Amino acid sequence: MSLGAEKAGVDVQVAVEMDPYAAQTYKVNHPKTRVIVKDISQIEDLGCKVPKGVVTVLFGGPPCQGFSISNRRTRSISNPGNWLFKEFIRIAYLWEPEWIVLENVKGIAQLNHGEFLKTIIKSFRGLGYACSWFTLCASDFGVPQIRNRFFMIGSRSGIHVTAPQKSNGKIVTVDDAIGDLPALHNGANIDNMAYRRKANNNYAKGLRDGLNYCTGNLVSKNSDAVVERYSFIRQGGNWEDIPDEFMSTYADKKRCHTGIYRRLLATKPSVVIGNYRKNMLIHPFEDRGLSVREAARLQSFPDSYVFCGNLGAQQQQVGNAVPPKLSEVVFRHILELENG
């Protein structure tokens, strides 16, 4: 969200992140922002002195795993992670920003018959904010991924925010996004590599930003049995394409989640880039999982954005992120309303 906010013109002063790897990544890519590496519940003061007349915004995404429709295990009111939005509300009470932007998965509006969303809206209205909310699909705004995200916007000035208009540009495909990246193999571990070819579309050109190499060319090493399963899957297909005799390690093949063993379709936007290693998302042409950089491209991160930590940590950071291009759209929309 910070990258999109910065590109829209927001001066991000302070960030809170308790995960050490994510905090390291943030510091490397946002050197001008002060990063507080701490549990949000332990913070009483952001230490941010705002000059008079400067418009402020508090934004973030309380952990969303408990709200996700695909999360059947902890998707309930008993999941303590579902209540961390109260810390977001508490910080808003302490800091009193002019604007609030809360991002989450669309399931937050459905969980417990919408009671969570009602509680959030009631809380922010009680602090004096006019609240607006909507769900946006990233592929409608130039991101090569069908990823739905919920946004709630709060305004102390009483401004009601309608959803941004969809982009008029063409849909960006998986091949548009990653076709120029290096050819890799299962378990590839050379971080820094030259591009495979020249970028042939505006999306890839924009993310390359003049670089002649990219980092993050790291791929999880799957067993020979898993790679053999990959070979049977057509573009757009999933585990159903794998012959039964190659799925003998599964107690019941038919109970597999539809997102498992999904080979991306080159001519369409990607499916959700969540936990893409666990889901074993497959490259459209090569029998392997996605690299960190390929997943980052599908999320709309520029190639100059570096991810820190071990491979699992980098994969988690990319999968958890809000697509920066989508975040930028939301913040530009708010700034237009503020300036207008």
Contact, 321 vs 313, CB < 8 A?
no
Which residue bears the tokens 């809206």? 121
Contact, 164 vs 136, CB < 8 A?
yes
Identity of residue 132: S
- The token pair that represents 159 in the structure block: 């401004």
CA atoms within 13 A on the CB side of 328: 16
Give the Cα separation of 307 and 326 in Å (integer).
Answer: 20
**Strands of the chain, DSSP E:** 14-16, 34-36, 57-60, 99-105, 130-137, 148-155, 193-194, 213-214
- The token pair that represents 87 in the structure block: 């810390």
Contact, 249 vs 271, CB < 8 A?
no
List beta partners, residue 58: 100
Active-site residue 64, yes or no? yes
Taking each continuous run of H as one helix and of E as one strand, the counts in the chain are 10, 8
Following DSSP, what letter does each residue of 86-144 receive, concatenated?
Answer: HHHHHHHHHH--SEEEEEEEGGGGTGGGGHHHHHHHHHHHHTT-EEEEEEEEGGGGT-S
Q: How many CB atoms lie within 10 A of CB 69?
A: 12
* Active-site entry in 48, 64, 131, 256: 64
Which residue bears the tokens 């009193």? 96
Collect all residues with Cβ–Cβ distance below 8 Å to 26 and sequence separation of at least 6: 2, 15, 17, 33, 35
Give the Cα separation of 72 and 255 in Å (integer).
Answer: 14
* Integer Rg of the chain from CA: 21
User: Which positions are annotated as active-site residues?
Assistant: 64
